Amino acid sequence: MRLKGKFVKWNVDKAFGFITPNGGGDAIFIHKTALKNRNRIPKINDVITFSVIQDNQGRYCADQAIFSGEKSHSKQTKNISTFSIYLSLIFITFVAVAFFLGYLPQKILLIYIGVSIITFLAYAFDKSKAQRGEWRTQESTLHLLALIGGWPGAAIAQQILRHKSKKKEFRIAFWFTVFVNTATLGWLMTTQGKPFLSFFS
């Protein structure tokens, strides 16, 4: 989701400033490197469209900023990881096939689909809150949802919504939840784990 706003401050020497979103809310930090056109020096009240990301310190700042009237050659589509999306769809398909072949109970399939939808919505609400400067959803909550079966929805949300897709620490923790979840499912499908599937029957 892209926002529209205007420059309210620009430090020429340090090459950074602040943007006020048109919809209201706190001023958002922007560095020159976030501008698509770095040859143009921003001026107060210049109108600009931009997306919001988190830097390495977890602070929110503008990214992929384009001055009003300039052509957009957004990198957003290029930055989307199709691997994460395809992996999620393939996994859900695998669980569905395993159910129809009798290897997994229906509840397992429904849990993955249901929790994935809830997780996707949780990411969407969290991004919306971030853009409005409101109280955020804890990262531990998002990881818990991924761990209990919502990771396909989380992986898709990270790429489609461009949310929580760049913070290294979060990404490492997320992929750890994916590993634990899929490893647990794999174990449940073994001879030793099958007795525990009765809890989902």
CATH 2.40.50.140 describes domain 3-67: yes
- pLDDT tens-digit series, residues 12-26: 888 999 999 987 888
Contact in structure between 193 and 185 (CB atoms under 8 Å): no
Q: CB under 8 Å to 160, separation ≥6 — which residues?
A: 80, 85
CA separation for the pair 22, 25 (Å, rounded):
8
Q: What is the pLDDT of residue 76?
A: 46
- Give pTM, 2 decimals: 0.63
- pLDDT tens-digit series, residues 76-110: 444 567 889 999 999 999 999 999 999 999 999 99
Q: CB under 8 Å to 35, separation ≥6 — which residues?
A: 42, 65, 66, 67
Domains of the chain, residue spans: 3-67, 77-200
